[in-house]
Amino acid sequence: MPDQIRRQAPRIIAITNQKGGVGKTTTSINLAAALVELGARVLLIDIDPQGNASTGLGIEANQRKLSSYDIVLEGKPLKDVIQQTAWEGLFIGPANADLASADVQLGHQERRTRHLRDALRNPSVQALNLDYILIDCPPSLSLLTVNALVAADSVLVPLQSEFFALEGLSQLMLTIREIRNSGNADLRIEGIVLTMYDARNRLSLMVERDARDNLGDLVFRTVIPRNVRLSEAPSYAQPVLTYDPLSKGSEAYRALAREVTSRHSPLMQEKGAA
């Protein structure tokens, strides 16, 4: 994409659900990879102390001298922390275990919910020419997650197709409303994506119907099927899109990326169609 028509500021999407094991990290890695396949430059910031997104993209713990901890707690510039992955156009701000103490440390600081926003919206970030910044959040509504929600343009919520899925969602919606009233009035909901969907399972169908009835267009048309290739790919330190490009999981994340781009960026939509 010629530089003069590149977006001035990257679109920042927080991938959030306070439940663990619902597909946040899987969605972060593979949506990022699918956006890159469409020609975008994408930074994935891992703010989960477990660092699964970092490992899943091949960045081992000993390669993480600087991490998102240094962005959120030490005020280090984004450009000093991020690393190029093995895939051109895909960058990572890795996590490390120091993040586990971030909440306690942030608790003592002024502007404690705004550190990540300040870093991501600093004018120097434009030089990185990013189209998207995705933030893989920890499984809680901690201060780290609040930092992500205050920094973001929108929230993308993976919803596991199982009983109780929608109950946790109302707590998240309340938090989003609070964030709009305090740190980030413009925070939008990018969409809710059903994950680990199994069309042969009545429960999946019920959760889907419930979600679509109650949340309408907020629910992406794309659903992410339960697909073993998706769970295997991280142990090969790859997105599923390169590990098994023709798998159902790859197809689903490509479709999700097309939905994300077509919802908000006509420019990217053209690229995707090309």
Q: Which stretch binds ligand ADP (CB under 6 A): 17-25, 58-66, 146-154, 239-247?
A: 17-25
For residue 133, the minimal CB distance to ligand ADP (Å) is 18
Say whether residue 160 binds Mg ion (CB under 5 A). no
Give the E-state strand segments of the chain in sequence order.
11-15, 42-46, 83-84, 90-93, 132-136, 154-160, 188-195
Say whether residue 68 binds Mg ion (CB under 5 A). no
For residue 9, the minimal CB distance to Mg ion (Å) is 26
Say whether residue 58 binds ligand ADP (CB under 6 A). no
Burial of 82 (0-12, 13-18, 19+ CB in 10 A): buried
For residue 240, the minimal CB distance to Mg ion (Å) is 15
Taking the least distance from each CB to ligand ADP, the nearer of 203 and 273 is: 203
Say whether residue 193 binds ligand ADP (CB under 6 A). no
For residue 26, the minimal CB distance to ligand ADP (Å) is 3
Return d(Cα 139, Cα 130) in angstroms, integer: 26
Task: Evaluate whether 132 touches 35 at the Cβ level (below 8 Å).
Answer: yes
- Supply the DSSP string of 190-212, one letter for each residue: EEEEEESB-TT-HHHHHHHHHHH
Give the E-state strand segments of 9-153 in sequence order.
11-15, 42-46, 83-84, 90-93, 132-136
Per-residue contact track with ligand ADP, 220 to 239, x per CB under 6 A? ----x-xx--xx--------
Encoding tokens for residue 114?
């705004």
Give the one residue of 18, 25, 54, 250 binding ligand ADP; rule: CB under 6 A.
25
Say whether residue 17 binds Mg ion (CB under 5 A). no
Task: Evaluate whether 66 touches 81 at the Cβ level (below 8 Å).
Answer: yes
**DSSP 8-state assignment for residue 184:** -
User: What residue ranges bind ligand ADP (CB under 6 A)?
Assistant: 20-26, 52, 139, 195-196, 224, 226-227, 230-231
User: What residue ranges bind Mg ion (CB under 5 A)?
Assistant: 24-25, 52
